[in-house]
A and B are shown apart, each in its own frame.
Chain A
Amino acid sequence: AQSVTQPDIHITVSEGASLELRCNYSYGATPYLFWYVQSPGQGLQLLLKYFSGDTLVQGIKGFEAEFKRSQSSFNLRKPSVHWSDAAEYFCAVGAEAAGNKLTFGGGTRVLVKP
């Protein structure tokens, strides 16, 4: 069975500082990996995805993530955080062999200080 761990429940970062959100997954084969962002009371917006190929993927809003197979990680990064980046971030893993069902991490809430 696949599983996803986001070790950090909360992260507080100053505006303009860099941000890194950790995600570790467990799955026997190469999974599909996603990062989504959720603002309070709203649905999820896809930031980026990794299926295969280049292990550094670029997403929307200046985010990027790097797939590291040896570490079973897919960490999300942004060089300079904006106040509008305050939200809940979810890492998810899916696999065609599992019917493309997504398994989500617990989420990381990002707070941005002025």
Chain B
Amino acid sequence: GAVVSQHPSRVICKSGTSVKIECRSLDFQATTMFWYRQFPKQSLMLMATSNEGSKATYEQGVEKDKFLINHASLTLSTLTVTSAHPEDSSFYICSARDEVNTIYFGEGSWLTVV
């Protein structure tokens, strides 16, 4: 199947700093990518929809100024957690939609804010 890659897989940052997570579709072009957050032993919570060449659409309750999303090309979307706090520590997963509407997920990125 199609491959979606996330980087880094694990990152530790200090409180107050910013951290960027990349999501790449390796063998298809993705006009739409999605960013999720997953708390331990819970399901995935959609944070935002990332559209190539336009602004991301955020779900209700998600701070767009804190979670900056950029989708500059058809194969890359980035999520930047700005001014990170310990409560932002979580597992972040991206997904990408291919040309036949199948959605593939990345491996996820563990963020720990200390």
Contact = CB atoms under 8 A, between A and B. Distances in A.
Interface of A: 32, 34, 36, 41-46, 49, 51, 90, 94, 96, 99-107
A57 to B, nearest CB: 12
B49 A34 contact: no
B101 A96 contact: yes
Contacts of A42: 107-108
Given A41-B110, A43-B93, A103-B46, 12 more contacts: A43-B6, A43-B105, A44-B44, A51-B101, A90-B44, A99-B32, A99-B49, A100-B103, A101-B46, A102-B46, A106-B43, A107-B42
15 contacts: A32-B101, A34-B103, A42-B108, A43-B4, A43-B93, A43-B107, A43-B108, A46-B105, A94-B101, A99-B49, A99-B57, A101-B46, A102-B103, A106-B42, A106-B43
B1 interface: yes
Nearest to A4: B43
A64 B21 CA distance: 34
A100 B34 CA distance: 10
Contacts, number: 54
Given A43-B93, A106-B43, A36 B105 contact: yes
B95 A102 contact: yes
Given A99-B49, A101-B49, A94 B103 contact: yes
Contact of B102 (A44, A49, A106): A49
B43 A44 contact: no
A105 B43 contact: yes
B97 interface: yes
B53 to A, nearest CB: 16
